[in-house]
Structure 1
Amino acid sequence: MKSYIARRLLQLIPVLLGMSIVVFAIIHAIPGDPATVILGDQATPETVADLKAEMGLDQPITTQYASYVKDIVTGDLGTSLKTKKPIKEEIIPYLMATVELMIISMVIAIIIGVNAGILAAWRRASWFDYSAMLIALIGVSIPVFWLGLMEQWIFAEKFGWLPSTGRMNAREPIEAITGLLLLDTTIQGNWTGFVDAFKHLILPGIALGTIPMAIIARITRSSMLEVLNADYVRTARAKGLSELKILYKHSLKNAFAPVLTIIGMLVGLLLGGAVLTETIFGWPGIGRYIYDAIGSRDYPVIQSGILLVSTIFVFVNLFVDLLYARLDPRIKYR
């Protein structure tokens, strides 16, 4: 196992290098001059040229890329052209906000999706099966931005049950410890703040988790249908085991490998969908951070943000691969 992990980590080096090249090339292909954006259209050519020289944007592309890679290797993500602050300090709160939103979304998607898929397979060709799969199909088809706007209109504007934007009520300040508000409020015993933070998470969490929930439900149903026809399931029923025990203890464990694979892949979908979700709900996450940086042509922030998101996705998939051995003893890593 250790040798496999070491080999996989070494394989990540060319992957991350390739990602850095692609990200660097795409960012520099974006029309517009960041120096002009910062100084405004009224700036003189001399002022723009001085600022470009200060930022190193007058250097050849290869020199800029070499400097970029050198900074990444040394742990320096650079400095924001807009705020003049170190990115590695500025990006952490945004990253933790996205992580918290992703955790809530994935918990919603897994709990509802897995259980819906199990019950649909158990009651195959029943009204529940048809209804669950129809809802899953609709869930996959609904655009995230439309669902988010409908949630805001119904639950925030019309009924006023939940807040429509933001991460926290400004009147409930919370001391940042981990950056995860639910965890921080629990540690501090601030239950009022916990409830407020949870309420702010509900609408964006549902919007972001709807598509993964539908995909997980469909994959779980397909996997469970194969397992429920196995000989050992018939043997378990012949022994008089309860259906609940057969479904969740025996069948789900053997059917969960494809579900686990799709969960790992859905992390990338959540990270991509977070840009729209965070923009709609005013969520101060890394998706909105990158979105604002694109508008201001803040190259270092865009490059560092996208590379960080890509790195998270790569490591999550590595973690999923390692979970296979725990899930299925027949899998051996050599």
Structure 2
Amino acid sequence: MVSYMLRRLLQLVPVLLGMTIIVFSIIHAIPGDPAETILGEKASKESKQALRLELGLDRPAAVQYFSYLGSLLRGDLGTSIRTKEPIAKEMKPYLAATLELTFVSMLIAVLFGVNAGILSAWRQNSWFDFTSMLIALIGVSMPVFWLGLMEQWLFSLKLQWLPSIGRVDVRDPVEAVTHLYIIDAFIAGRLDQVWTVIKHLILPGIALGTIPMAIIARMTRSSMLEVLRSDFIRTARAKGVSKFFVVYKHAFKNALIPVITVIGLQIGLLLGGAVLTETIFAWPGVGRYIYEAIASRDYPVIQSGILIIAFIFVMINLFVDLLYAAIDPRISYK
């Protein structure tokens, strides 16, 4: 197991190196001048040239890349062109906001998706099976931005049950320690703030978790149906084991491998694909942070942001691979 982990960690090096090259090449191929974006179109040529010299944008692309790579090896993500702040410090609250939203979204997706898939397989061809799979199909097909706007219209505007934007009530801000507001509110001993943070998470969490929930439900149902037809399930039933234990203890454990794989992939996709949800709900996440950096041609922020998301994605896949052995003892790593 340890040797496998070391091999996988070493495999991260060429993956992340290739990612930096691809991102650097694509970003520098985008038309536009960062100096003009920062100073404005009416800025003089002299001031634009001075800013290019200051930022190192006058140097050849290869020199800029290796300079950036050298900074990464020293643990320095660089400095934002737009704000002049260290990227590692500036990105921390944005990344925490996205992680918090992703966790809530996946909690909703896994809780409802897995159980819907199990019950659909258990009651195959029943009204519950047809209804849940129809809802799953609608969930996969429904645009996130439309669902988010409908949630705001119904639950915020009409019913006024839940807030429509932001992470917390601006009149009572959370004292940031970890920048994960639920944890920070607990640390401060403010249970009222915990409830406020949770209310702000519900609508974007549902909007972002709808598609993963539908995918997990369909995958769980498919995997469960295959396992429920196995000989050992028929043997367990013949021994008089209750249906609940047959389904949840025996069948689900053996159907879990593909479900875990899908969950891991969906977590990675949510980390990098939450831009629409974050925009609709004014959620200050890393997706919006990178989007704003793209609009202002802030190359260091774009490169560092994408690299961090890629690193997290790969680490999630590594964790999922290690879970396989814990779930299925027949799997071993040599």
The yes-or-no answer on 1:321 pairing with 2:328 is no
1:71 match: 71
Aligned counterparts of 1:107 and 1:146: Cα–Cα separation in 2: 22
Q: Secondary structure at the match of 1:278?
A: helix
1:224 match: 224
TM-score (norm 2): 0.98
Which sits farther off after the overlay, 165-174 or 62-71?
A: 165-174
1:288 match: 288
1:277 match: 277
Q: Secondary structure at the match of 2:89?
A: helix
The yes-or-no answer on 1:263 pairing with 2:237 is no
CA RMSD of aligned residues (A): 0.9
Shift of 1:241: 2.0
Q: Secondary structure at the match of 1:4?
A: helix
Could you list the per-position Cα deviations for residues 198-246 of structure 1 after superposition, in whole angstroms to 9, with x for gaps in the alignment?
Answer: 0000000001000000000000000000111112212222222222211
Aligned counterparts of 1:91 and 1:327: Cα–Cα separation in 2: 35
Q: Secondary structure at the match of 1:161?
A: coil
Amino acid at match of 1:249: K
Contact 2:272 2:309 in 1 (8 A): no
2:124 match: 124
List structure 1 segments (4+ residues) > 3 angstroms apart after TM superposition. Answer: none
Unmatched runs of 5 consecutive residues or more in structure 1? none
Shift of 1:269: 2.1
Alignment of 1:155-174 (within 5 A): 155-174=155-174
Aligned counterparts of 1:39 and 1:219: Cα–Cα separation in 2: 51
Contact 1:144 1:273 in 2 (8 A): no
Amino acid at match of 1:325: A
1:44 match: 44
1:311 match: 311
1:246 match: 246
* Aligned residue pairs, count: 334
Contact 2:293 2:301 in 1 (8 A): yes
Aligned counterparts of 1:178 and 1:310: Cα–Cα separation in 2: 22
Aligned counterparts of 2:189 and 2:252: Cα–Cα separation in 1: 37
Aligned counterparts of 1:19 and 1:267: Cα–Cα separation in 2: 19
Q: Secondary structure at the match of 1:205?
A: helix
Aligned counterparts of 2:283 and 2:9: Cα–Cα separation in 1: 33
Q: Secondary structure at the match of 2:273?
A: helix
Could you list the per-position Cα deviations for residues 225-278 of structure 1 after superposition, in whole angstroms to 9, with x for gaps in the alignment?
Answer: 011111221222222222221111111110000001111111232123311110
Amino acid at match of 2:61: I
Shift of 1:178: 1.8
Could you list the per-position Cα deviations for residues 157-188 of structure 1 after superposition, in whole angstroms to 9, with x for gaps in the alignment?
Answer: 11111111000001222222222111221232
2:30 match: 30
Q: Secondary structure at the match of 1:81?
A: coil
The yes-or-no answer on 1:208 pairing with 2:208 is yes
Q: Percent identity?
A: 65
2:176 match: 176
Shift of 1:125: 0.7
Q: Secondary structure at the match of 2:43?
A: coil
The yes-or-no answer on 1:103 pairing with 2:96 is no
Aligned counterparts of 1:271 and 1:144: Cα–Cα separation in 2: 15
Aligned counterparts of 2:26 and 2:157: Cα–Cα separation in 1: 39
The yes-or-no answer on 1:332 pairing with 2:332 is yes
Unmatched runs of 5 consecutive residues or more in structure 2? none
Shift of 1:145: 1.1
Contact 2:268 2:316 in 1 (8 A): no
Could you list the per-position Cα deviations for residues 105-147 of structure 1 after superposition, in whole angstroms to 9, with x for gaps in the alignment?
Answer: 0000000000000000000011111111111111001111111
2:234 match: 234
Which sits farther off after the overlay, 231-240 or 215-224?
A: 231-240
The yes-or-no answer on 1:194 pairing with 2:200 is no
Amino acid at match of 1:19: M
Could you list the per-position Cα deviations for residues 62-108 of structure 1 after superposition, in whole angstroms to 9, with x for gaps in the alignment?
Answer: 00000011111111111111111100101011001100000000000
Q: Secondary structure at the match of 1:79?
A: coil
2:87 match: 87
Amino acid at match of 1:156: S
Aligned counterparts of 2:273 and 2:280: Cα–Cα separation in 1: 11
